[in-house]
């Protein structure tokens, strides 16, 4: 079980604008502190394990933050429409497009995904795979 994910950011104000454009819509609360931004999913009654926290922080070694080559963090949306809406909101909040929302031939028939880069260059995916929504072939 993944407990948390951290990405680096040199400009926390820009990072906050980007991530706050879509993470609250997915149920994350923002906690700000001297160490950076913490996006936390509130624990639900009866939920055995809390979803992983997502942290945005300057690197502890004091060197500039950099995006990992081949690294990506994916967030699950409730629907294809929410993927489209949140992808657009993240672009408007300073992200860059890495792949418009839609189906990809290499993935399952119901895997609907949009890709972004945050202002620091970290790759982010927003996806939905609801079998009750239209699929790639239907």
- 39, part of any domain: yes
- 133, part of any domain: no
pLDDT one-digit tens code per residue, 54-69 = 999 999 999 999 998 8
- 59, part of any domain: yes
Residues 52/127/104/91 CA torsion (nearest 10 deg)? -110
Range of the domain at 40: 4-128
- 138, part of any domain: no
- The CA distance from 91 to 33, in Å, is 25
Q: Is the pLDDT of residue 49 over 80?
A: no
* Entry pTM: 0.91
* Low-confidence winner among 33-37, 84-88, 114-118 (lowest mean pLDDT): 33-37
pLDDT one-digit tens code per residue, 89-130 = 999 999 999 999 999 989 999 999 999 999 999 999 999 999
Domain CATH number, residue 43: 3.10.180.10
Q: Where are the beta strands (DSSP E) in the chain?
A: 4-8, 29-33, 36-40, 53-57, 73-76, 96-103, 112-117, 123-128
Total domains, the chain:
1
Q: How far, CA to CA in Å, does 133 sit from each of 5, 80, 136?
A: 29, 8, 10
Q: Is the pLDDT of residue 36 over 80?
A: yes
Token code pair at residue 57: 């922080």
- 50, part of any domain: yes
- 18, part of any domain: yes
Quick one: what percent of the chain has pLDDT higher than 90?
81
In this prediction, residue 136 carries a pLDDT of: 87
Other Cβ atoms closer than 10 A to 52: 15
- 134, part of any domain: no
**In the structure, what pLDDT confidence band is assigned to residue 138 with cuts at 50, 70 and 90?**
low
In this prediction, residue 32 carries a pLDDT of: 95
- 14, part of any domain: yes
């Amino acid at each position: 079980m993944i407990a948390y994910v951290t990405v680096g950011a040199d400009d926390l104000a820009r990072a906050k604008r980007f991530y706050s454009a879509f993470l609250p819509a997915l149920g994350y609360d923002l906690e700000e502190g001297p160490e950076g931004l913490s996006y936390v999913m509130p624990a639900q009654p009866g939920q055995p394990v809390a979803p992983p926290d997502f942290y945005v922080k300057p690197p502890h070694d004091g060197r500039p933050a950099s995006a990992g080559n081949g690294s990506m963090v994916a967030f699950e949306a409730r629907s294809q429409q929410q993927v489209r809406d949140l992808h657009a909101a993240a672009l408007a909040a300073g992200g860059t497009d890495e792949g418009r929302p839609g189906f990809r031939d290499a993935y399952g028939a119901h895997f609907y995904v949009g890709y972004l880069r945050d202002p620091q260059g970290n790759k982010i995916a927003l996806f939905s795979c609801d079998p009750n929504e239209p699929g790639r072939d239907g």
